[in-house]
Amino acid sequence: MTTDPGRKPGEDEMPKQKSKRALRKRVRLTGTGRLRRYHAYKSHILTKKHPKRKRRLRKPALVSHADERRLKRLLMV
């Protein structure tokens, strides 16, 4: 805090950090601390995809270890 009478309280402080809200909507934290995501390529042009492939795409997957640290930093977890 400053003692300058011309400044409002909190004006000289840094703004709060914000998490990436778009990523927050696409990824969920599991109980063990991993990140759960959903598969891509399931929204359109489904006629040429085999039923087994579409079935596999329905199920959630875990984010790979290579990306997990970076995504957690964006989520501020």
Query: What radius of gyration do the chain's Cα atoms show?
Result: 21
How far is residue 67 from each of residues 21, 30, 47, measured CA to CA in Å? Answer: 17, 15, 31
Edge-to-edge, what's the strand order for the sheet holding 61-62?
Answer: 28-29, 35-37, 61-62
Compute the C-alpha angle 42/43/47, nearest 5°: 75
pTM of the model: 0.73
> In this predicted model, what pLDDT tens digit does every residue of 36-45 receive, in sequence order?
999 999 999 9
> In this predicted model, what pLDDT tens digit does every residue of 45-64 receive, in sequence order?
999 999 999 999 999 999 99
